[in-house]
Amino acid sequence: MLDEFGLEEESLAARPVDRARLYEAILTLSAHAAPARARLLRRDFSSALVVFLLVSATAVPGVIPFLLLQDSHLALRVSNTVLILLLFLGGYRWGHYTDVRPWRVGLAVTFLGVAMVLVSVALGG
């Protein structure tokens, strides 16, 4: 019986003999195959450098208040505020690439950041 797309409603089932031949063919091919040698390319090192720079750059705004303020407690709260604002900006920007309104994405990411800060404060941070 065919459905509206012209496909059979029942799933295709291979006979046991055909399935055994398929498994034997796969086993034969895999026995003769040699794995490709893994090696690092220039592209791998440049990608690792870019990831390192991006991770380091995202940490800088959180560190600046500690360099500028004497009171460490105030610096921590200013750092949290700056990073939460950056979470909103990143979420808002990310929202432009999705089918969701940018404000919703920005606020969702911001609430996630606020929740993480509240958990860390509750645990003594």
Query: DSSP secondary-structure letter at 123?
Result: T
Return phi, psi of residue 81, to 5°: -65, -45
Q: Which pTM does this prediction carry?
A: 0.60
Instruction: Assess contact for 111 and 104: CB atoms under 8 A.
Output: no
d(CA 112, CA 86): 12
- Condensed to tens digits (0 to 9), the pLDDT of residues 71-101 reads 999 999 999 999 999 999 999 999 999 888 9
Q: Indicate the average pLDDT of the chain.
A: 88
pLDDT category, 69, cuts 50, 70, 90?
Answer: very high
